[in-house]
Amino acid sequence: MDINPAIILLIIVLFIFPLSRLYLLIRRKMELACDEIKQLIQLSGEKVLITPESGSFRGATNKLGRIKSDGIIALTSKRLIFKKAFSPRFEIELKEVIEITTDAKFLGAWRAGVIHLVLNLKNGDRVGFYFKDLEKWKIELSKALRK
């Protein structure tokens, strides 16, 4: 039984085209999220400690929930701002953070040795993140919390 090359091409196109459109949609949403955070920071007049960049929310023990998501994250002198591609942004006031810790496992999740940065809040809640440059985030958060 010979399979017609045109049928194979049609099958490939039917699978790849929707995936490529989804990729472009997510990419555009992330660009818009970055612009939204930049504008929010500019209007607030807060000092930018880390400009908006890609990051990953790894869940929380509070109302933020345990659903993990990639997004755009930034740090100012007063707050950490995170925006998922398809969800509202959330903010964590630095005055609510009592300690930052790191751990390979957070809320039962582990991924190939990537280290979570965990914000421990005054009310006992914990919020986890992944960053491309964990050390940069640890240093800047530590400095901001000391002020």
Asked if residue 50 lies in contact with residue 19, where contact means CB atoms within 8 angstroms, the answer is no
Among residues 41, 45, 22, the alpha carbon closest in space to that of 33 is found at: 41
Q: Which domain holds residue 90?
A: 5-146
Separation of alpha carbons 12 and 7, rounded Å: 9
Give the residue carrying structure tokens 């609510």.
96
- Residue 106's pLDDT is 85
Classify the C-alpha dihedral 127-132-137-139 as positive or negative: positive
Question: Which tens digits make up the pLDDT trace of 49-100?
Answer: 999 999 999 888 888 888 888 999 999 999 999 998 778 889 999 999 999 9
CATH for 13:
2.30.29.30
pTM over 0.85: no
Please provide residue 54's backbone torsions phi and psi, each rounded to the nearest 5 degrees.
Answer: -70, 140
Q: Into how many domains does the chain fold?
A: 1
